[in-house]
């Protein structure tokens, strides 16, 4: 692209014509304050903090494209005075008494106040009171802190695809609202939490993170969520010197989720209060008694002959490989691992989809990030959507077509007419698979049952029900034990969470999980992702990978 010439603060520069003034100034290393602007969102130009002067006219840098012969000045008295006036008015409009605000110390409005040397309120302040909405499980909205930048509204629609937040009224009466002005907790909000991540002030806050600490007091760790096979990118704020996580943000640089998270990855992973299995227990005639690690090791050695292993898809590749090494080819998956039609599309490609077929899964409830990708294209870019399910599916209200799964054959006429369709499915019967495979215009995204189902596929660990004298069971989700033929076996169960099925075990061993564990897994696209260890285990549990390595004689230390 041919460059154009402009002047910036008296210097001639050549720049690309497809940029905004803000982008050009940033590339030149010239600081321009912003407030409503937020890089992943479409520029809006509402706050006017970023004004610059071009040939005597004040313009917003974030929304003005560069054009030939511009003469941009960023530090004239009129630029500085205009920015200051905007800031003084913003500070006066609602309640911005920073010392009483939860986000003081990491508020972008407060930072601007310091940058422009505001040391007092010049105009009457806080004349109107606005409501505080504490109806939501994870998020609180204090409208008194709102600067109406609408970052939350844009993030909720453009990025997360939920289109829950909007606004009502005008001028100083403007309010950010959910749906048709419902309390957030009663609205159609799916708790992805992106609004709280992009809010520049203390308006929308993550309740759990409140008062736990500031970003400056945090170690930031980049990782991937291992609670479903999407594997969203996480930006984890761990309190420095402490063993807890303050909050989790979506990682904008993730090449899986591109900043999006669902309720599970952002909130539930930190609220986890499932009861943990602690220590090592051996069943005898009186019930279970605690035994030492050394006793467990000798027991394992005596039980490895005539032994098989069952695993679930929560295990990382490294753990699965060690289990494979220990049990050779006698490793079976507790749950199905097959993809009826293999995935041949990336999550990123969903943004170019023009017709989505979602089968047997409610993407507002499961695989939420995939739901965001679909919804932002269906609602935002007018892509078509067909929902095929057995019963209620909350995506149906935005769908162009809704079919019962038993009528899938009837949908074929519609699907064949489309140039290209993207089929997203969780499970399919053989017949349904055949119908869909006959479509030459279709690409497929399989939503596997478990986090590392693709890892199980790659290691050729298949779902089967096999009995043996000694059975070792490893995994997080062990409800499936009820279907395994283990009544006559000596059974050793390695798991992080209590479950009624565990009491079929002769030995129960507590293992690490969540942010206590590290390793790699393959997500639904087949990308190898890494989960980092962030916390020390708070319980008496073994590190499964280290323990298996020790049993195999690969390490000298057991934990």
Where along the sequence are the contacts to ligand FES (CB under 6 A)? 34-37, 45-50, 60, 62
Considering beta carbons, is residue 108 or 251 the nearer one to ligand FES? 108
Residue whose CB is less far from ligand FES, 45 or 380: 45
In the complex, least distance from residue 551 CB atom to ligand FES, rounded to whole angstroms: 58
Q: Which is nearer to ligand FES, 61 or 300 (CB)?
A: 61
Comparing CB distances to ligand FES, the nearer of 9 and 46 is 46
CB of 103 to ligand FES, least distance (A): 19
Token pair, residue 493, equals 């169960």
In whole angstroms, the minimum distance from the beta carbon of 110 to ligand FES comes to 16
Whichever of 34 and 449 has its CB closer to ligand FES, that residue is: 34
In the bound complex, what is the minimum distance in angstroms from residue 310's beta carbon to ligand FES?
56
Provide, rounded to whole angstroms, the least separation between the CB of residue 452 and ligand FES: 42
Token digits for 154? 């844009």
Distance of closest approach, residue 370 Cβ to ligand FES, in angstroms: 32
- The nearer residue to ligand FES, 42 or 412, going by C-beta atoms, is 42
Q: Do residues 34 and 22 make contact, with C-beta atoms less than 8 angstroms apart?
A: yes
C-alpha distance from residue 87 to each of 122, 159, 361 (Å): 10, 28, 47
Beta carbons within 8 Å of 233's beta carbon, 6+ residues apart: 222, 223, 224, 225, 250, 251, 253, 254, 255, 256, 257, 258, 259
Considering the complex, state which of residue 60 and residue 453 has its C-beta at the smaller distance from ligand FES: 60
> Cβ of residue 204: shortest distance to ligand FES, in angstroms?
18
Residue 44 CB, shortest distance to ligand FES, in Å, is 7
Place of tokens 């006036």: 85
For ligand FES, which is the closer residue by CB, 50 or 361? 50
Whose CA is closest to 312, among 172, 166, 473, 437?
473
Pick the closest to residue 199 from 236, 153, 238 (CA basis): 153
**215 CB-near residues (< 8 Å, 6+ apart):** 106, 237
Residue 547 backbone dihedrals phi, psi, to 5 degrees: -65, -45
| Of residues 107 and 232, the one with the C-beta less far from ligand FES | 107
As measured in angstroms, the least distance from the Cβ of 79 to ligand FES is 13
Of 525, 500, 207, 106, nearest to 342 by C-alpha is: 525
Q: Is 442 helix (H, G, I), strand (E, B) or coil?
A: strand
Give the tokens for residue 88.
Answer: 């003084």
What's the token pair of residue 225?
Answer: 């969520």
Residue 95 CB, nearest distance to ligand FES (Å)? Answer: 21
Q: How far is the CB of 63 from ligand FES (least distance, A)?
A: 6
Judged by CB, which is closer to ligand FES: 36, or 230?
36
Give the H or E element holding residue 509.
strand 507-510
87 vs 228 by CB, closer to ligand FES: 87
Nearest approach in angstroms of CB 54 to ligand FES is 14
DSSP 3-state percent helix, strand, coil across the chain (nearest 5): 30, 25, 50
Contact 499, 482 (CB under 8 A): no
Q: Which tokens go with 489?
A: 């076996």
By beta-carbon proximity to ligand FES, the closer residue of 41 and 363 is: 41
Residue 133: CB minimum distance to ligand FES, A: 25
Element (H, E) at 115: helix 108-115
CB of 97 to ligand FES, least distance (A): 23
DSSP notation for 346-392: -TGGGGG-SEEEEES--TTTSSHHHHHHHHHHHTTS--EEEEEESS-
SS3 state of residue 89: helix
Between residues 48 and 443, which has the closer beta carbon with respect to ligand FES?
A: 48
**Owner of token pair 């990118």:** 233
Neighbours of 381 (CB within 10 A): 11
Greatest extent of the chain over all pairs of C-alpha atoms, in Å = 91
Half-sphere exposure of 73 (CA within 13 A, CB side): 13
To the nearest 10 degrees (0 to 180), the angle between helices 77-93 and 108-115 is 140
64 vs 470, which CB is nearer to ligand FES?
64
Task: Return d(Cα 43, Cα 34) in angstroms, integer.
Answer: 11
- Count of CB atoms situated within 10 Å of the CB of 233: 24
């Amino acid at each position: 692209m041919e460059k154009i010439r402009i002047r910036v603060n008296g210097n001639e520069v050549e720049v690309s014509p497809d940029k905004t003034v803000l982008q050009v100034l940033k590339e030149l290393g010239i600081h321009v304050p912003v407030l409503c602007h937020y890089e992943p969102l479409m520029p809006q130009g509402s706050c006017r903090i970023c004004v610059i002067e071009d040939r005597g006219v004040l313009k917003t840098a974030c929304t003005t494209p560069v054009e030939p012969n511009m003469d941009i000045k960023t530090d004239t008295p009129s630029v500085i005075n205009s920015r200051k006036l905007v800031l003084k008015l913003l500070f006066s409009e609602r309640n911005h008494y920073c010392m009483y605000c939860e986000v003081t110390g990491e508020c972008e409005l407060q930072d601007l106040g310091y940058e422009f040397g505001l040391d007092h309120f010049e105009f009457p302040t806080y004349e109107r009171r606005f409501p505080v909405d504490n109806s939501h499980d994870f998020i609180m909205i204090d409208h008194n802190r709102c600067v109406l930048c609408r970052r939350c509204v844009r993030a909720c629609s453009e990025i997360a695809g939920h289109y829950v937040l909007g606004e009502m009224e005008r001028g100083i009466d403007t309010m950010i609202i959910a749906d048709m002005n419902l309390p957030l907790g009663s609205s159609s909000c799916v708790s992805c939490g992106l609004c709280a991540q992009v809010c520049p002030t203390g308006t929308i806050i993550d309740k759990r993170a409140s008062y736990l600490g500031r970003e400056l007091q945090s170690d930031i760790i980049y990782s991937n969520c291992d609670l479903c096979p999407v594997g969203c990118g996480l930006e984890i704020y761990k309190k420095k010197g402490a063993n807890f996580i303050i909050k989790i943000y979506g990682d904008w640089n993730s090449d899986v989720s591109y900043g999006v998270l669902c309720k599970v990855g952002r909130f539930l992973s930190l609220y986890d209060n499932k009861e943990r299995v602690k220590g090592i227990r051996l069943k005898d005639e009186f019930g279970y008694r605690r035994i030492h690690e050394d006793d467990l090791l000798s027991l394992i050695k005596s039980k490895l002959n005539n032994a098989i292993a069952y695993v679930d898809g929560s295990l990382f590749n490294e753990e699965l490989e060690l289990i494979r090494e220990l049990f050779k080819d006698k490793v079976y998956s507790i749950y199905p691992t097959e993809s009826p039609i293999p995935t041949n599309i990336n999550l990123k490609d969903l943004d170019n989809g023009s017709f989505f077929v979602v089968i047997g899964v409610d993407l507002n409830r499961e695989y939420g990030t995939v739901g965001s990708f679909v919804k932002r294209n269906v609602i935002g870019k007018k892509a078509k959507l067909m929902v095929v399910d057995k019963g209620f599916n909350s995506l149906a209200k935005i769908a162009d077509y809704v079919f019962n799964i038993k009528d899938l054959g009837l949908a074929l006429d519609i699907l064949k007419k489309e140039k290209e369709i993207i089929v997203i499915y969780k499970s399919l019967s053989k017949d349904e698979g055949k119908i869909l495979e006959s479509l030459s215009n279709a690409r497929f995204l399989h939503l596997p049952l478990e986090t590392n189902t693709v890892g199980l596929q790659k290691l050729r660990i298949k779902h089967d029900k096999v009995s043996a004298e000694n059975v070792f069971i490893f995994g997080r989700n062990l409800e499936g034990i009820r279907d395994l033929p283990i009544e006559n076996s000596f059974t050793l169960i390695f798991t992080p969470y209590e479950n009624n099925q565990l009491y079929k075990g002769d030995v129960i061993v507590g293992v690490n999980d969540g942010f206590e564990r590290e390793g790699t897994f393959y997500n639904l696209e087949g990308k190898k992702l890494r989960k980092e260890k962030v916390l020390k285990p708070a319980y008496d549990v073994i590190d499964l990978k280290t323990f298996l390595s020790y049993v195999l004689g690969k390490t000298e230390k057991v934990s």
